[in-house]
Amino acid sequence: MLLRIENLEVKYGNVQVLHKLNLNVAQGEIVTILGANGAGKSTTLMSVSGLVKPSGGGIYLEDKALHKLEAHDIVKLGLAQVPEGRRVFGTLSVQENLHLGAFTATDQARIRKNMEWVYEMFPILHQRRGQLAGTLSGGEQQMLAIGRGLMANPKILLLDEPSLGLAPILVKSIFATIREINKSGVTIVLVEQNARLALKLADRGYVLELGKIVLEDTAKALLVNPEVQNAYLGGAG
C-alpha cells in the first residue's frame, strides 16, 4: 500500500475535526474523498502533507511515518499537494513558480525534464512562462498550481478542489489532465466538490461526514449508491 492513514485524529484547539480516520491508497490509484463543507476533507490532506499535526493515529507513505516528519521532508519522500484556492505566487513569473515546486530537488536534469513535461501538458503555461502568475486567469493559475506540484516529481499528488471557481469547459480540461498525470504513473488523492466528476475519474472513493468515514467503495458503486446520489449528486441520474 502506497499511503496508509490509520486511526487519524486531528484537533483544532478543543474541537476534534477527524475521528479515527482509516484510509488506504494503492500505487497507481485515483482515490477521491467526498463530503460536505466542514467534513474534514482538506484537514485530511493537510495532515498527510505535514501542514497539520495529528493528535492521534498515524500516516504512512511506503511504511515511512509521515506524522513524525516536517512538511518539506514529506515532499522529499515523493508527496506533493496542490492546495485549495491555487495559492500561486502572484508576484513571481510562471517559470519562477514552477522552479519553486522543485525546491527539494537537486538533480538539474530531472528538473529540466519535469519542466518540459509540465509545459507539454499545459502549452499555455509555456507561452506565458515569463508572465507574472497573478495576471493569469483562474484556469491558468490552476494549471500552474498542478504543474508546480508535479515539479517535485511526486509518487503521489494530493489535489484539493481543483475545479473550484472554474468554468465547466476548463474543469473538463483539468480533469482530463489529471487522468493523464495518473496514466504517467502518479497516484492521486482528490478532494473535489463536483462529486459526479470526481467519481467518474476515480477508482475508489471515501465519503466523509463530520470527520468520520461513513462510506467506502469503488467509484462505480458510489455513483449508483442512493445515499450518495441524494447527498452529493443532486438525486438519481
Q: Could you tell me the pTM of the whole model?
A: 0.92
58-82 in b/e form (b: 16+ CB < 10 A) is ebbbeeeebbebeeeebbeebbbbb
Strand partners, 80: 157
- Domains of the chain in start order, with CATH, are 1-78+156-164+186-237 (3.40.50.300)
Cell 498550481, residue?
145
pLDDT per residue rounded down to tens, the chain (237 residues): 999 999 999 999 999 999 999 999 999 999 999 999 889 999 999 999 999 999 999 999 998 999 999 999 999 999 999 988 778 998 999 999 999 988 877 788 888 999 999 999 999 999 999 999 999 998 899 999 999 999 988 999 999 999 988 888 889 999 999 999 999 999 999 999 899 999 999 999 999 999 999 999 999 999 999 999 998 887 544
Helices 138-150, 168-183: axis angle to 10 degrees equals: 10
The pLDDT, as a whole number, for residue 237 is 45
Strand partners, 188: 30, 157
**Rg over CA atoms, the chain:** 17
